[in-house]
């Protein structure tokens, strides 16, 4: 069931859930109406829900360890403040560099978004980070972006604001809502549905894929991008982690503090119920969804830091620039994880050492690592919708209440790698994308659940 709590930056509000024809949406705007704020039951189906920090701040945000978080989705435990938005800006530029544009499979996407006589072309961006860029590239398309909360410091970036207030003022909008509660009012409505790095806030990722597929028109394209918790060393082997986080003064040869930090974050998020294996499993789950066909996937390894060498000086310069940007993203990500660790019982001195040692090993390049990005895509079937059985329990949900303090395992076992379940073999790597790896590359699918009897020592 959908939460029904919409919020927009002066954009036309969503249609009544009883209506599925987006072309009949109310486009009246009155951003100065004090009643049109989040949580106002009287305006749930009105044309605009404006954001006023003085009225809506407590409804949309909470403070943990000095960072601002959303209040709509308890699973999504990354901040929603300007520092995190800045990190996501950099991460977006990493994505642009790695795949050479806003989206993978450009031919499929551009074909799906070709204007058709008598039809409105529509794009749905879940996580909303590509919404405004898609609006610029496809000005004829109606673009809707959904995110959990607005930026606390940004009103709207200039390019999208220009589209909103001029020719396309009634054509694009952001909504602030928890899409994991369902989008029945958007079923069979979009030509492209795009999601990136949302798994942290999703417990039932196969169910999420099904719901996203339902929002597509027949022949529409679903695009999902997720980062993996498995890191690789410069030889493209699984990265070793620091084992004793209490008793050592220096990491062992080739061991990484950041890899240990990520492994610990994986444990916590898995315990909370987040779909932490979504990166390696998205393709498999797409193939299992009867609403989807023509599924594919591709994995890219991205260097963390300016150490990777290309075949030409120009290629080396490009790889090292990408490494510098990725390193900035990772250092900020380590800080974004601090409230998660503290909330789940990790001593502040341990968390601060994670951050300090991550900065050090990435700055002096003593550990050379790759991170993984998984891109998956599929096409909505053109026949009648089959009857689907929901997965309400959540394939990744664990028994027991979420959020209980975790006791640190000592030592944490080395991550277990399993062969990919993907039957799909993508085409050979493109020379323009030197970081691509085949889907037969081992992926990290085994949860590192801590021993409940193990505790901090030293």
Secondary structure (DSSP) of 400-458: S-TTPPPPPPSSPPPPPPB-------PPPPPTT-TTEE-TTS-B--S--PPPTT-----
Distance from the first to the final alpha carbon of the chain = 49
Cα–Cα distance for residue pair 408/451, rounded to 1 Å: 8
122-136, pLDDT tens digit by residue?
A: 999 998 778 888 988
Is the pLDDT reported for residue 119 higher than 70? Answer: yes
Cα–Cα distance for residue pair 454/452, rounded to 1 Å: 6
Closest alpha carbon to 274 in 195, 178, 199, 338: 199
Pairing outcome for strands 142-147 and 190-196: unpaired
Is the pLDDT reported for residue 285 higher than 70? Answer: yes
**pLDDT at residue number 384:** 64
Cα–Cα distance for residue pair 191/134, rounded to 1 Å: 13
Is the pLDDT reported for residue 326 higher than 50? Answer: yes
Q: Using 50, 70 and 90 to split pLDDT, how confident is the model at 386?
A: low
pTM: 0.73
Q: Using 50, 70 and 90 to split pLDDT, how confident is the model at 306?
A: very high
Asked which of 32-41, 53-62, 212-221 is least confident by mean pLDDT, the reply is: 32-41
Q: Output 9 or 327, whichever has higher pLDDT.
A: 327
Cα–Cα distance for residue pair 322/94, rounded to 1 Å: 7
The structure tokens listed for 282 are 């998205």
The structure tokens listed for 329 are 């993203």
**305-280-183 Cα angle (round to 5):** 110
Closest alpha carbon to 148 in 78, 67, 72, 50: 72
The winner for highest mean pLDDT among 155-169, 348-362, 374-388 is 348-362
Q: Using 50, 70 and 90 to split pLDDT, how confident is the model at 56?
A: low
**pLDDT at residue number 456:** 33
- Main-chain dihedrals φ then ψ at residue 6, nearest 5 degrees: -100, 150
Pairing outcome for strands 232-233 and 216-227: unpaired
Q: What percent of the chain has pLDDT over 90?
A: 54
Helices (H), 292-419: 313-336, 338-343, 348-363
**331-337-343 Cα angle (round to 5):** 155
The winner for highest mean pLDDT among 84-88, 130-134, 275-279, 443-447 is 275-279
Q: Output 262 or 390, whichever has higher pLDDT.
A: 262
**pLDDT at residue number 71:** 87
Mean pLDDT value across residues 290-298: 97
What is the helix, strand, coil percentage profile of the chain, to 5? 30, 15, 50
User: Residues 358, 360, 363, 366: is their CA dihedral positive or negative?
Assistant: negative
The total number of residues shown for the chain amounts to 458
260: left (phi over 0), alpha (psi -120 to 50) or beta: alpha
Mean pLDDT value across residues 329-339: 97
Q: Using 50, 70 and 90 to split pLDDT, how confident is the model at 413?
A: very low
Mean pLDDT value across residues 329-334: 98
SS3 state of residue 100: coil
Cα–Cα distance for residue pair 107/99, rounded to 1 Å: 13
**pLDDT at residue number 111:** 97
Dihedral of CA atoms 268, 269, 273, 275 in degrees, nearest 10, equals -150
Cα–Cα distance for residue pair 305/367, rounded to 1 Å: 9
Is the pLDDT reported for residue 34 higher than 90? Answer: no
137-161, pLDDT tens digit by residue?
A: 999 999 999 988 765 554 444 333 3
Closest alpha carbon to 136 in 161, 116, 112, 119: 161
CA distance to 66, 72, 108, 331, per residue, from 272 (Å): 22, 16, 36, 24
Q: Output 115 or 173, whichever has higher pLDDT.
A: 115
């Amino acid at each position: 069931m959908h939460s029904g709590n919409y919020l927009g930056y002066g954009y036309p509000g969503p249609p009544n859930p009883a209506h599925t024809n987006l072309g009949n949406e109310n486009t009246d705007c009155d951003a100065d109406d004090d009643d049109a704020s989040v949580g106002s039951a009287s305006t749930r189906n009105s044309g605009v829900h404006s954001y006023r920090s003085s009225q809506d701040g407590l409804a949309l945000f909470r403070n943990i360890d000095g960072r601002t978080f959303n209040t709509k989705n308890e699973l999504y435990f990354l901040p929603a403040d300007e520092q995190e938005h800045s990190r996501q800006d950099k991460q977006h530029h990493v994505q642009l560099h790695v795949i050479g544009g806003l989206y993978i499979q450009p031919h499929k996407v551009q074909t799906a978004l070709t204007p058709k006589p008598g039809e409105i072309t529509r794009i749905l961006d879940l996580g909303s980070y590509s919404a405004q860029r898609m609006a610029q590239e496809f000005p004829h398309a109606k673009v809707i972006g959904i995110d959990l909360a607005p930026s606390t410091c940004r009103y709207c970036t200039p390019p999208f604001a220009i589209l909103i207030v001029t020719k396309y003022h009634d054509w694009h909008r952001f909504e602030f809502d928890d899409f994991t509660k369902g989008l029945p009012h958007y079923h069979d409505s979009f030509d492209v549905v795009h999601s990136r790095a949302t798994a942290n806030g999703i417990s039932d990722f196969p169910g999420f894929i099904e719901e996203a597929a339902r929002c597509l028109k027949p022949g529409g394209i679903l695009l999902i991008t997720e980062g993996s918790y498995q890191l690789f060393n410069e030889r493209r082997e699984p990265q070793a982690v620091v084992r004793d986080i209490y008793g050592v003064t220096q990491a062992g040869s080739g061991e990484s503090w950041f890899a240990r930090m990520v492994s610990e974050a994986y444990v916590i998020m898995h315990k909370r119920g987040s779909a932490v294996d979504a990166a390696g499993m998205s393709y498999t789950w797409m193939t299992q969804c009867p609403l989807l066909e023509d599924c594919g996937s591709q994995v890219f390894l991205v260097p963390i830091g300016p150490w990777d060498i290309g075949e030409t000086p120009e290629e080396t310069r490009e790889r090292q620039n990408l490494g510098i940007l990725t390193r900035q993203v990772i250092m900020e990500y380590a800080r974004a994880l601090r409230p998660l660790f503290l909330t789940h019982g990790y001593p502040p001195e341990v968390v601060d050492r994670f951050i300090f040692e991550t900065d050090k090993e990435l700055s002096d390049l003593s550990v050379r690592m790759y991170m993984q990005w998984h891109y998956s895509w599929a096409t909505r079937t053109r026949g009648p919708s089959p009857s689907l059985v929901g997965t309400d329990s959540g394939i990744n949900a664990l028994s027991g209440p979420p959020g209980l303090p975790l006791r640190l395992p000592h030592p944490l076992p080395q991550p277990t790698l399993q062969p990919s379940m993907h039957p799909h073999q993508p085409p050979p790597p493109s020379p323009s994308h030197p970081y691509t790896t085949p889907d037969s590359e081992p992926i990290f699918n085994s949860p590192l659940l801590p021993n409940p009897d193990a505790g901090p020592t030293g």
